[in-house]
Amino acid sequence: MMTIPMLNLFLDSLEEGVLFLDKNRKVLAANRAATQMVGREGENLVNLLCPSIFKGTGCAQACENRGRCALTQDWKAGDVIQDIVLQRPDNTSVFLRMWARLLPPSENLPLSCAIILRDRSHEAELEQKVTERLQLGSMVGHGPAMQKLYSQILRAAPSNASVLLTGESGSGKELVAKALHDNSDRSKGPYIPVHCASLPENLLESELFGYAKGAFTGATGAKIGRFEAAEGGTLLLDEIGEIPLGTQVKLLRVLQEKEVVRLGENHARPVNVRVIAATHRNLAAMVERGGFREDLYYRLRVLPLHVPPLRDRKEDISMLANKLLGDLGKRYKRDNMRLSHEALFALEAYDWPGNIRQLFNALEYALVHADGSTIQPQHFPPEIEYVAPPAPGVTASEPPPLVRPYYRPQQQLANEAEIISRVLAESGGNKAEAARRLGMSRTTLWKRLKQVSA
């Protein structure tokens, strides 16, 4: 049985704060994390009423009004969780998530419940950081689907756990992998992509694990594999669903043991690599059919991320198309190219089965076929049929996609400040119009302008 000193030592080692209360909501004990979170380090919290510690919060008010802990009133239906912003005695604020666990009655201890606290200040800052972000790395988009993806990337990036990226071909999984690397602690290390589908089984193993001199005919010297080349960095295994079962066994061992054995050798070499796998295939279905190892699937799928198809984020097409056209304009030395209103409408009306890759190819096709500096719908490939926008004042049976001419692609826009400045200039300084084109409220635009000028 754990002794009281050992129990206190254990509780003080937790990152979560814990307050033990009696049936009258008085504090009987608190661990070190709890005193730090509520800003009362060095103080004795014993016998203080719980509402007095969290004074001014909605939780304390509900507790005082009911005369009992608001967190435990519905405990039979599951944990009741509340997020609060606590103003601490030193006038600093902390964002806390709190919930309660009722404790079984005891004759020896008058404990009634435990209040558990988690500091979410960093998470709140992270959520604010990605709110209405226009781009992350080489990814562009500000719609709900991309905001969710940006948030997931920034949460997953600091971890060393394996990531499995799923999504249709051409949806931008490689860009997500690069963003994970660039926002991680490994960003200064190498980023090594491997396209597994392009390599036959015997060559794939030598590429991944390396080989010793004389390991096979033609091996006139030793060669390190991609795992060793990615030491201290990130290895992207693109199209992981194409790896043969024999190679899957060896890959699983590398992920488990964190060491590789070169072909032709019998000793292992340690590797420190973060693995990101990507696929457009349904690996879970492949596991059911026996085409992919279940243990490898779960080893890779520690942090799953799904990249949405372009048809599910049509609000981003205008911004994305202009960004891609800017890149193409530099390649073809035609920096003055722009998309007409009708061309943007046609792009947003199309479903893009080939996703961003198809959009890029369609824009390149249009750039080659356009004689002047403005791309019109007729310049696109035949599969992108022209649909005329409804005339002003005419209500269509179904609302057409919103066309937002965000900015002209006269140069590649490197950051959000440039995008906002360009849209504001194109709107003649009209902030309401600029906010409409950017798809955000005037208040949000004002805040972002204030950040830019700070």
Residues 42, 65, single domain; the answer is: yes
Q: Does 373 lie in the same domain as 337?
A: yes
**Rounded-to-integer distance, Cα 398 and Cα 411, Å:** 35
Q: pLDDT tens, 229-280?
A: 999 999 999 999 999 998 999 999 999 999 998 887 888 899 999 999 999 9
> Which domain covers residue 30, as residue numbers?
4-119
**Co-location of 214 and 289 in the same domain:** yes
Task: Identify whether residues 136 and 247 lie together within a single domain.
Answer: yes
Q: Are residues 190 and 239 in the same domain?
A: yes
Give the pLDDT of residue 273: 95
Residue 148 lies in a domain: yes
Specify if 232 maps to a domain.
yes
Q: Does 92 lie in the same domain as 164?
A: no
Residues 155 and 304 in one domain: yes
Q: Residue 20 sits in a domain of what CATH number?
A: 3.30.450.20
Q: How far is CA 47 from CA 22, 30, 261, 432, in A?
A: 9, 11, 61, 55
pLDDT of residue 302: 92
Whether 441 is covered by a domain: the verdict is: no
In a domain, 424, yes or no: no
- Please give the pLDDT value at position 114: 85
The single-letter code of the amino acid at 10 is F
Residue 453 forms part of a structural domain: no
Q: Which amino acid is at 426?
A: E
For residue 269, the domain's CATH number is 3.40.50.300
Which segments of the chain have a pLDDT < 50? 1-2, 74-78, 130-132, 392-414
Q: Which sign, positive or negative, has the C-alpha torsion 423, 424, 425, 429?
A: positive
Instruction: Count Cβ atoms below 10 Å from residue 415 Cβ, excluding itself.
Output: 11
Q: What is the pLDDT of residue 190?
A: 96
Within this chain, do residues 154 and 291 fall inside the same structural domain, yes or no?
yes
Which of 308, 337, 371 lies at the terminal end of a domain, its last residue? Answer: 308
In a domain, 180, yes or no: yes
Question: What was the pLDDT predicted at 122?
Answer: 65
Domain check: are 237 and 136 in the same one? yes
**Do 204 and 106 share a structural domain?**
no
Give the CATH number for residue 339.
1.10.8.60
Q: pLDDT by residue (tens digit) across 341-391? A: 888 888 988 999 999 999 999 999 999 999 888 899 999 998 887 655 555
What pLDDT is attached to residue 292? 94
What is the pLDDT, as a whole number, of residue 398?
A: 41
76 lies in some domain: yes
Q: 291 and 388 share a domain?
A: no
pLDDT at 311: 92
Q: Which among 78, 99, 119 is the end of a domain?
A: 119
Q: Quote the number of domains for the chain.
A: 3
Domain boundary among 308, 326, 343: 308
Token representation of residue 264:
């032709």
**337 with 283, same domain?**
no
34 found inside a domain: yes
